[in-house]
Amino acid sequence: MDIVVCIKQVPDTSEVSIDPETNTLVREGVPSIINPYDENAIEVGLQLKEEHGGTVTALSMGPPQAEEALRQALAMGCDEAILISDRAFAGSDTLATSYVLAEAIRKVDSYDLIICGKQAFDGDTAQVGPGIAEQLGIPQATYAVDVKVDENRIAVKRLLAGSFETIEMKLPALITADKHMNVPRHAGLRGVMAARKKEIPTWTLEDIEADPEKCGLSGSPTTVVEIFPPQRSHKTERLEGEAQQVARQLVEKLREAQLL
Amino acid sequence: MNIYIDAEKCTGCQLCVKACPYSAIQMAEGLATITEACTLCGGCVSVCPVDAIIWEAPAVEEVDTSDYQGVWVIGEVGEDGLAGVTWELLGKGRELAEDLNTELSLVVLGDEAGELAQKAAQSGPDRVFYAEDPALACYRTGTYTDVISGLINKHKPEIVLFGATEQGRDLAPRIAVRIKTGLTADCTGLEIDPEERLLVQTRPAFGGNIMARIITRNHRPQMATVRPRVMQRLQSQPEHGAEIVEVPVSFNETSIMTRIIDIAHDEAAGQVNLQDAEIIVSGGRGLKKPENFAIIRELADALGAVVGASRPTVDDGWIAPYHQVGQTGSTVQPRLYIACGISGAVQHLAGMSGADCIVAINSDPAAPIFEVAHYGIVGDVFEVVPALTEIVREELGSG
């Protein structure tokens, strides 16, 4: 089966800290990483390929440096990687992004399954996966923790609050991978060496034959009008003393606030 | 690109360089320069003290937004009736509808939607649309997208709200693409700009480290998913009677793209339903070893709380992944969150800073968790947590 994995390069938010004086993000020197959920997506793609044969192609839409993330996907074992990059794509919201990625996927030789991460670490919207599925008119299963492929059907176990739901879909289909799906493999030295030699083609607006009106800012219905640091509306009350004493104080405070 | 630096005005202060989330601004010959990495997010524009960053939004064709009227809430069905988040959306929806001087409608789908619609009609919305069919018994992306997109296209609401739940986050982006409109995910604030009659949507990004205000200017409806437990529930209005509209639907099971094979309530995952928990007691690396999660469990039992955990403890296998709170785990909004031996990495804070009340117990007075805590106890978790458990058992007579 032929699999397309969509990945995104994101700033590593676990390395981000907050400047206590200005209450703004300190982003200097923050490394870029593959969105962590996308590593789960790559892993399940590789496992399905190992089981059923076929190919795994990694796609990423982003600026030229997103090539690093694709290089890493190749090192993990993806067969091909394609960068979707054009000035015309800058400023795309989730609608425009899902359009561009869907147009790129249409240009890939063939696909049976598209895998995305559950959501991206920087935006956290979880909209692009379902958006691509809708653009392509194929079924989707979000929050996937397990998959079984049988001929032209896929059974996907989804993790919902307190329950698992298993749904079956006809291929081609799209799934979004949850963190609990697997433990992504590390790229071995051989993989890293092989990935270095591989060519990563860049597909532009023209290559994917996209409508410029549907890309970038002109294709994006939403506009960010303001960005601001979150307000901390409360002060921290420090409780001090012996363990017994502070524990009692706390319980009293929580009861007063009707939290217990 | 539609963003550039006015070299006449730029003072080379580098504030924009620091503010850019994509490292897309560099210094060249003492002036800021925007590189190809720019995503046009606009984050730098407001930080420039001399207004040297020129950000030109493209001219988009105006659409006739006056054709669109009314605020809609897409209902979600829980185990007994409408889910809590639906009442919260109705509460917010009522406010928005009043500000716009328009009507509030609820949409309910299911195999017994008629009954739910009757009940809901007594307590708040002006109109309830319902579609009843065995094929709608359980949520499925395809069927729900079809029905709701069709309703939106026919009735043209100006605002449509979904819960930012598993269902809402699966469904809303599909509908947004179908009808080609904007969708803002996971909103924590919604208000009307009265001059432009626009929905101003506030949402956290970068794991809650920055907030963004987003509008959908030229497309309708304006759609948002809204975080559960943020908005006030609609107060029941007993005198209220809504118009009930049945939406005729029909399905051919063979043409539906997905089939539900099984729904299994997972005991392990079910017991740690962090998302719906009222009280959460979480443990972190400060517990020193896996066995010490026992003191967390004891306190949680005494409080009737759910056990949470920080990412390092899950990564090291001290506790099952379902317990993880944070950006790669669950985002939680309990009334009370007690963090024990958790330092408060940004990715953890992103998952729990929405709690109504946060208690932090940590031996390091400089731990970032104290920045978000309402009550901070600098002390030894191995002394404070058992002491708390004991007092809670005494006082609440439980355990």
Domains in chain A, start-ordered, CATH in brackets? 2-219 (3.40.50.620)
A3 contact partners, CB below 8 Å, separation of at least 6: A45, A48, A49, A54, A55, A56, A57, A111, A112, A113, A114, A115
End-to-end CA distance of chain B: 63
d(CA A164, CA B388): 35
CA distance A57 to chain B (A): 23
Report the range of poorest mean pLDDT among A129-138, A226-235, B266-275: B266-275
The conformation of residue A64, written as its DSSP 8-state character, comes to G
Q: Cβ contact (<8 Å) for B176 and A14?
A: no
Q: For residue B340, what is the enclosing H or E element? A: strand B336-340
Q: What pLDDT, on a 0 to 100 scale, did the predictor assign at position A24?
A: 59
d(CA A140, CA B140): 10
Q: What pLDDT, on a 0 to 100 scale, did the predictor assign at position B61?
A: 47
Half-sphere exposure of B238 (CA within 13 A, CB side): 0
> In this model, does residue A42 exceed pLDDT 50?
yes
Task: Please count the other Cβ atoms lying within 10 Å of the Cβ belonging to residue B84.
Answer: 16
The tens digit of pLDDT for each residue in B265-319 reads 766 666 678 888 999 999 999 999 999 999 999 999 999 999 999 999 998 889 9
Domains in chain B, start-ordered, CATH in brackets? 3-55 (3.30.70.20), 65-253 (3.40.50.620), 267-396 (3.40.50.1220)
Q: What is the mean pLDDT of residues A100-109?
A: 96
Q: Cβ contact (<8 Å) for A230 and B204?
A: yes
Report the range of poorest mean pLDDT among A19-33, A125-139, B35-49, B365-379: A19-33
Selecting from A65, A162, A239 the residue whose C-beta is nearest the C-beta of B273 gives A162
Phi-psi region of B40 (alpha: psi -120 to 50; beta: other; left: phi over 0): left
Distances (CA, A) of B203 to A29, A123, A224, B241: 26, 10, 10, 33
ipTM: 0.92
Q: What pLDDT, on a 0 to 100 scale, did the predictor assign at position A20?
A: 61
Distances (CA, A) of A115 to A58, A144, B110: 10, 10, 29
- Considering only the C-alpha atoms of chain B, give the largest distance between any 2 of them, rounded to a whole number of Å: 71
Q: Residue A22 — pLDDT band, cuts 50, 70, 90? A: low
Task: Please name every residue paired with A224 in a beta bridge, in sequence order, or none if there are none.
Answer: B214
Give the start-end residues of each E strand in A20-112.
Answer: 24-26, 32-34, 55-61, 80-84
Q: What is the mean pLDDT of residues A164-179?
A: 95
Q: What pLDDT, on a 0 to 100 scale, did the predictor assign at position A255?
A: 92
User: Which residue has better confidence, A154 or B233?
Assistant: A154
Q: What pLDDT, on a 0 to 100 scale, did the predictor assign at position B399?
A: 41
User: Which residue has better confidence, A164 or B63?
Assistant: A164
Q: Are B177 and A220 in contact (CB under 8 A)?
A: no
Q: Where are the alpha helices (DSSP H) in B248-380?
A: 267-271, 293-303, 311-315, 346-352, 369-372
Q: Residue A26 — pLDDT band, cuts 50, 70, 90? A: low
Residues in chain A within 8 Å Cβ distance of B388: 247, 250-251
Query: 3-state class of B378 per DSSP?
Result: strand
The tens digit of pLDDT for each residue in A218-230 reads 999 999 888 887 7
Q: Which of residues 52-111 of A touch B (CB under 8 A)?
A: 63-65, 87, 90-91, 93-95, 98
Residues of chain B scoring pLDDT < 70: 1, 21-22, 39-43, 46, 56-63, 238-239, 266-271, 397-399
What is the overall mean pLDDT for chain A? 92
Q: Are A197 and A186 in contact (CB under 8 A)?
A: no
Q: Residue A29 — pLDDT band, cuts 50, 70, 90? A: confident
Task: Please name every residue paired with B74 in a beta bridge, in sequence order, or none if there are none.
Answer: B107
Q: Cβ contact (<8 Å) for B176 and A234?
A: no
Q: Cβ contact (<8 Å) for A221 and B200?
A: no
